Structures are given as C-alpha cells and as structure tokens.
Structure 1
Amino acid sequence: MFTGIVTDVGAVKALEKRGDLRVVIGTGYDLSDVAIGASIACGGVCLTVVDKGDDWFAADVSDETLRVTALRDWQVGSLINLERSLKLGDELGGHIVTGHVDCVGAIVRFETVGGSIAMDIEVPARWGRYVAEKGSVAINGTSLTVNKVTDTADGTVIAINLIPHTQEVTSFRTAKTGDRVNVEFDILARYVARLTERA
C-alpha cells in the first residue's frame, strides 16, 4: 500500500531479459533497512526487491506486467518515481494507492501555464467512469488532483496541473506529449462502480 507521494526519483541502470525482465534501479534511498522481498512502487507499479546494493535495487518484471503497464517503455537512464510502502502510522499525504495499474494512458497535452504545467492524460473510454473532477488519480505513482474530465469519441481526457514542486521532485521533469503513463484510479471509485453495476 502506498500514498502516491514520491520520495525519490530513481534511474534505470540495467535491463536484463532472464525469463522475466530483471530491472536494476539506482536510488538515493538508504537500502540498509530495505529487506529482500520488500515492496517499492516504481513508476506506480508495485515491484518486489529481489537484490540490492548500496545505491541500487533489482526487481523482476513479468511478461504480464510488461503487457499491461508502461514499463515496457523503460530504457537505461529512464527516470522512475519511487515510493517505499506505507507503514502503519505514516502520514497519508496523498491518497490510498495500491500499485496495481488500471490502464495505460497517454500524455496528450504538456504545456507551461504560468509557473505550472497543464498536463492532459487520455485513457480508454471504458475507464472514464472511474475518475471525477476534484478527485484523485495516480499517474506514474504520483497522487494528483483531477481538474477536469472530458469524455471524447476516442476516450476520456483527464486534466491535471503540475505545480513547480511536483515537477522538481518527480519524473515529470522529463515528461512530454506522447509519453505513455501508468494510471491507477482511486480504489473507492472502483468499488463504487462495481456496486452500482450489481445494483
């Protein structure tokens, strides 16, 4: 379980196909108290630490995870939003995030407006019902507030504002139009949608 508050921006150091894909991520975390088997959200995807060094950890990514997330776009040098798992008693500064990606979206607008960035994410139409204006959504593992939701013929566009602080402390500092992103909708929206389907 996570909060969507990014606590480090790591970088992919190596990608090795060995059955599953072994990903090595450089980090500024103190890994001395990170156990093998611990969970770290990497770009919004909950991954398991299978090896580590002083300034890096490794995780294995299955073909299924590659199929349903934007992790298949990672290259050596890619910046990755990182968050260690939530501990009981930690401040819940964002919203409840599971690290289970719902869908892959695409950045369709990334434009400077004042000191902020106006970022629009398009998701497939079937997911539009899970997002609401002024609600929360996790994009690449970052808890963000939805400014506006627009349904189009092709999908649903989620409008988000990135303040300068968010740009500085996340991988969005290198984002651009056309990038694919991991999207996780608010878990409450998923349960409400399921309940209304069966009502």
Structure 2
Amino acid sequence: MFTGIVQGTANIVEIRELEGFRTHVVALCDALRAGLELGASVAHNGVCLTVTAIDGERVSFDLMRETLRLTNLGALEVGESVNIERAARFGDEIGGHAMSGHIISMAEVVAIDEAPNNRRLWFALPAEFGRFVFEKGYIGVDGISLTVGDVRRTLGRIEFSVNLIPETLERTMLKHRLPGAKVNIEVDPQTQVIVETVERVLAARA
C-alpha cells in the first residue's frame, strides 16, 4: 500500500529493452534506499514496481507489457526522472490517502493556471472513468495524493483540476508537466468500490 506522499524523485540511469518487457535502473539516494530489499515494492509515478536487483545506488525494476501500455513509464528515456514512494509500513502516518499503485488510465494535461504561490493543472480523462471523479474527492496523479478541484464533463471525456502548493511542486515531477504531457491516474479505491457496488445493485434491480 502507498499513501500518495511522494518522498522524492530518482533519475533513470539505464533502460534494458526486450520484446514487451523493459527493465528500468534508477539511482536512489541513501534516504530512499535505506532498508530496501529484493522483492520490495516501490512506486514510480504511482505505479507499483518490484525491486529485482540492487547494486549500490543502482536499483532495478521490471516493467511488463501491460504496465508499458497503460502508464507513462513506457515513454520514459534515460536521464528522465520519476516520482518515488516507498511502500507504507504499519504505524506510518497516512498523510495522503490509501493507494494501491494500480493505474487505471493516463490523463493529458490540457491547461495550466498560474497564480502567486499556487498552480492549477487541468487534466482530461476518458469519459468512462468520469464516474469515479468528484469535486473534493481524492485522486492519484503520477503517484501524488491530490484533492479534485473543479470537474467539467464534456462529450467523450471528463476534465478535472487540482491545485498544487509550492511544496508539491518542489518535491515532485509535476512542476515539469506541460500541456500535452501524460500522467498516470489512480482513482480513490474506496470511491471505486462504492460506485461499482451501487452500479451493480441498480443494474440488478433494473
């Protein structure tokens, strides 16, 4: 489990490609690597990945075909960076919201509103996922726990905004996201369960 509180960023220092398969090697600083073991879970841009090798600061993670298709990790190149969060442990403070590291879709940055000490990003998401997005609800964007601001429902897609404080911009890769960029989206698991349960009940009654 993750909390959506990104602990830092890490550079991709090597990529090994096979057909439908990729290995990312990232350079993790001492703080992010402390106590890390083979088989541990680490979120990259919100995607739950498993540690497959540790060689000093160089830590390897394997990406399967579905991960490459569904997330923005498949488009990354050596020299780019990812948001990093270590898996939560019992007793840790949950400062964001419970997240699984399972991405449902990518969203596109469609607009940026700048204001003193604030930045608002607007994203477009396929309409099929709109039923999980509510004003003031939780959402995971590239692994960051955020609160949904405004929601606009249009033909074929839904647009929603999030407001970012300077700390979030400083600590994460969202400061580099420009219109046209793709981000990973995880909806709040509790919201997803409630919505799907209500849909099943209503369908059964119908």
TM-score norm. by structure 2 comes to 0.93
CA contact (8 A) 1:123 1:155 kept: yes
Of stretches 49-58 and 100-109 in structure 1, the one that deviates more from structure 2 is 49-58
Superposed, 1:88-167 pairs within 5 Å as: 88-167=90-169
Amino acid in structure 2 at the alignment position of 1:23: H
Q: Deviations over 1:56-91 (max 9, x none)?
A: 211000111111111112111222100000100100
CA contact (8 A) 1:24 1:58 kept: yes
Match of 1:171 among 151, 170, 173: 173
Q: Deviations over 1:114-150 (max 9, x none)?
A: 2211101110000011011111100000001111111
Q: Deviations over 1:150-177 (max 9, x none)?
A: 1011301111111111000001121111
* Counterpart position of 2:204: none
* Counterpart position of 1:37: 39
For structure 2, the 5+ residue unaligned runs are 202-206
Q: Is the partner of 1:104 in helix, strand or coil?
A: strand
Q: How far off is 1:198 after superposition?
A: 1.3
Give the 4+ runs in structure 1 shifted more than 2 A.
29-32
Q: Is the partner of 1:50 in helix, strand or coil?
A: strand
Are 2:47 and 1:49 equivalent residues in the alignment?
A: no
CA 32–144 in structure 1, closer or farther in 2 if over 3 Å, else same: closer
Q: Deviations over 1:29-68 (max 9, x none)?
A: 4425111000000011000000112222110001111111
Q: Is the partner of 2:195 in helix, strand or coil?
A: helix
Of stretches 92-101 and 65-74 in structure 1, the one that deviates more from structure 2 is 65-74
* Counterpart position of 1:16: 16
Equivalenced residue count is 199
Q: Is the partner of 1:198 in helix, strand or coil?
A: helix
Q: Is the partner of 1:97 in helix, strand or coil?
A: coil
Amino acid in structure 1 at the alignment position of 2:119: I
Q: Tell me which structure has the larger Cα radius of gyration.
A: 2
Q: Is the partner of 2:161 in helix, strand or coil?
A: strand
Identity of paired residues, percent?
34
Amino acid in structure 2 at the alignment position of 1:177: P
CA RMSD of aligned residues (A): 1.2
